[in-house]
Amino acid sequence: MIQPIVLTDHEAVSQRAADWLVERLHARPSSLLCLATGATPMRAYALLAERAASDPRLTSQCRVLNLDEWGGLGAHDPASCARHLRAALVEPLGLTDRFIAFDGLAADPAAECARIAAWLQQHGPIDACVLGLGINGHLGFNEPAAALQPHAHVAALSESSLAHAMIQGAARRPTAGLTLGMADLTHAREVLLMVTGPTKQGPLARLLGGQISTDFPASLLQLHPAATLLCDATANGRPAT
Ligand code: F6R
């Protein structure tokens, strides 16, 4: 059962998440990092970029894999997941040659997912995976369903994902999600789930309720032997201890 580490606020969670990433990079400099975007982890990535700027060896060998992408949005679209990661981490640290991402504009999204799946099979497993919690319990674009997909796949987006703040200003409505699958995430050596803010109170309570169900994909992290959950007091619904 994952025990949450409850911190005061989003900034404290971001600082602790940056520490977690730095520790993993020190332990395994060639780590394959798999990173979510969305609002929750971006400050942690900015803090990691600051640390790496003063200690370039930290990220001199790591590889960064983008967890997911909005189908129909290109890498230069301001709303795309790739654009967020490039701006926060990849470009400031010069990781372009070691950045692997879905092409949201691929003419054949299924073939694009097969390309990423083959890459991960050859270069995986993921060493350290940073995830955010969807309001509906999704991880990446692994949406609640009767059955979940193990590897990279094209996902039909739920209404809740289509309402995500990231894409509200997008010029085009995404057609689908391209995402790593649940086995890719649960086979990561270590996982960090970050949960902050008032909208995550209900989802976090459900996660901590302990029932494991494909109807709430994040609940599968309860089975992971090395998952860390960082949350703030607001998401947890009580003051940090
Ligand atoms: C984005 C992603 C999503 C988000 C989730 C939480 O790359 O994988 O699963 O992590 O929707 O988003 P925020 O952090 O914006 O609440």
For residue 239, the model assigns a pLDDT of 63
Select from 68, 130, 207 the residue to mutate for testing ligand 1; criterion: most ligand atoms less than 8 Å from CB: 68
For residue 171, the model assigns a pLDDT of 84
How far apart are the C-alpha atoms of 108 and 106, rounded to whole Å?
5
Structure tokens at 85: 């990661």
For residue 91, the model assigns a pLDDT of 96
Nearest CA residue ID for atom 5, ligand 1: 134
Tell me the residue length of the chain.
241
pLDDT > 70 in the chain, percent: 98
For residue 2, the model assigns a pLDDT of 86
Nearest CA residue ID for atom 11, ligand 1: 134
Q: Is the pLDDT of residue 238 over 80?
A: no
Q: Is the pLDDT of residue 47 over 70?
A: yes
**Average confidence (pLDDT) over 47-73:** 96
Atom of ligand 1 nearest to the CA of 131: 10
Q: Is 106 near ligand 1, meaning CB less than 6 Å away? A: no
For residue 240, the model assigns a pLDDT of 63
Q: Is the pLDDT of residue 20 over 70?
A: yes
Q: Is the pLDDT of residue 230 over 90?
A: yes
**Side by side, which strands form the sheet with 32-35?**
4-7, 227-232, 190-195, 128-132, 32-35, 63-66, 99-100
Query: pLDDT-based confidence at 105, cuts 50/70/90?
Result: very high
For residue 241, the model assigns a pLDDT of 59
Q: Which of 68, 112, 127, 184 is catalytic?
A: 68
**Cβ partners under 8 Å of residue 5, min gap 6:** 16, 228, 229, 230, 231
Select from 37, 126, 160 the residue to mutate for testing ligand 1; criterion: most ligand atoms less than 8 Å from CB: 37
Q: Is the pLDDT of residue 1 over 80?
A: no
Q: Is the pLDDT of residue 210 over 90?
A: no
**Average confidence (pLDDT) over 75-92:** 96
For residue 65, the model assigns a pLDDT of 98
Query: pLDDT-based confidence at 170, cuts 50/70/90?
Result: confident
CA dihedral 114, 118, 119, 122 (to 10 degrees): 170
Q: Is the pLDDT of residue 196 over 70?
A: yes
pLDDT digits (tens, 9 = 90+) for 146-164: 999 999 999 999 999 999 9
Q: Is 177 near ligand 1, meaning CB less than 6 Å away? A: no
**Beta strands 63-66; 128-132: pairing state:** unpaired
Of 114-123, 155-164, 166-175, 187-196, which gets the smallest average pLDDT?
166-175
For residue 169, the model assigns a pLDDT of 86
**Average confidence (pLDDT) over 97-111:** 98
Q: Is 144 near ligand 1, meaning CB less than 6 Å away? A: no
